[in-house]
Amino acid sequence: MPPHRMHETGISPVPGWRRLFRHSTRLGLRWLRGATRWRDARGGLARLLVPLDPWRYWELGRLADVPFAGRCLDVSSPKLLPSLLTREGAGAWVAGDLFHREVARWRRLDPSLTLAVCDGRALPFPEASFDHAVCVSVLEHIAGDGDVRAMDEIWRVLKPDGVLHLTTNVAREPREIWTRGRPWGAVHAERDSLAFFERHYGPDEVSVRLLRRPWDVVTREWVTESSRWVEDAFVRLLPFSYVLGRLLRFACPGNFRVSETAILPEDGRFGVVYLRLRKPAA
């Protein structure tokens, strides 16, 4: 029997972030026990040292408390969420990702998770084949109109009455961030020797770019950090801050403010918007 999980009805007192933290630790220990090469052990160490990055305490923790069921698709999100929900028996999950290396890493880490190498802009699934879809912190990293195309694809593969759970970066003013590095490898769009890293959607852009289809907006939550020093210190001190990664659980879960209105930082920083979108019945 799968472990008891907390639905939004409040049946269990165990919050989503805590279940994700424990599951990440469990996966890391199992991976390390079976690791025979350093490339395998690195993944296990990452799961042990930093079970959740600062923002994931809210983004993944929020969705871990949703009562998923039926056939579910994860579109390139961090794989820890579908891995946990698969273990808990909350839906039959397919987790897709553009990167072969990431899919191979998770196949070693969690053999029970169904994975597929696929591009969110051209999903290899039939129309109306999923009851739920999840897309966490993905669309902002797709250059050009790729985010619009990905939203069209998710619409296509969802069943009528199917639900998309989406998080992405938002700021008071829309902007794009280009960098000399290439954290996503050769898939980057390039301009003037710089590579596209991410966009921060303005509040109006969320509707203009992401809600072109006639979605029913069930939930819209705007999230900011109460104190920014936690993430700032963690990022600034990388990779040394990894040794303190497990201590984030004492600072991060309560470090977020949630509003139904677009209250965003005034100093150029970004927040996150969570959208729960239902595809209307035909």
Inside any domain, residue 6: no
Inside any domain, residue 236: yes
Inside any domain, residue 5: no
pLDDT tens per residue, range 162-179: 999 999 999 999 999 888
Give the total number of structural domains in the chain: 1
- Predicted pLDDT at 282: 73
Give dist(CA 272, CA 53) in Å, integer. Answer: 14
Beta strands in the chain (DSSP E): 71-75, 92-97, 114-117, 130-136, 158-170, 175-179, 190-191, 194-200, 216-225, 256-259, 271-278
DSSP state of 9: T
Q: Which residue has the higher pLDDT, 233 or 35?
A: 233
Q: Which residue has the higher pLDDT, 249 or 41?
A: 249
Percentage above 70 pLDDT, the chain: 90
What burial class does residue 247 get, using C-beta atoms within 10 Å of its C-beta: 0-12 exposed, 13-18 middle, 19+ buried?
exposed
Range of the domain at 72: 16-278
Inside any domain, residue 259: yes
Task: Please state, in angstroms and as integers, the Cα–Cα distance from residue 144 to each residue in 106, 170, 248, following that order.
Answer: 28, 17, 34
Task: Please state, in angstroms and as integers, the Cα–Cα distance from residue 64 to each residue in 38, 51, 185, following that order.
Answer: 31, 15, 29
Q: What pTM did the predictor assign?
A: 0.92
How sure is the predictor about 10, in pLDDT bands with cuts at 50, 70 and 90?
Answer: very low
How sure is the predictor about 101, in pLDDT bands with cuts at 50, 70 and 90?
Answer: confident
Q: Across the chain, what does the average pLDDT equal?
A: 89
* Residue 74, domain CATH: 3.40.50.150
Inside any domain, residue 2: no
Inside any domain, residue 83: yes
Inside any domain, residue 168: yes
How sure is the predictor about 2, in pLDDT bands with cuts at 50, 70 and 90?
Answer: very low
pLDDT tens per residue, range 123-137: 999 999 999 999 999
34-48, 133-147, 235-249, 260-274: the lowest-pLDDT one: 34-48
- Predicted pLDDT at 185: 57
Task: Please state, in angstroms and as integers, the Cα–Cα distance from residue 140 to each residue in 166, 226, 256, following that order.
Answer: 11, 22, 20
pLDDT tens per residue, range 182-222: 665 555 677 777 888 899 999 999 999 999 999 999 999 99
Inside any domain, residue 11: no
Q: Does the pLDDT value for residue 23 go beyond 50? A: yes
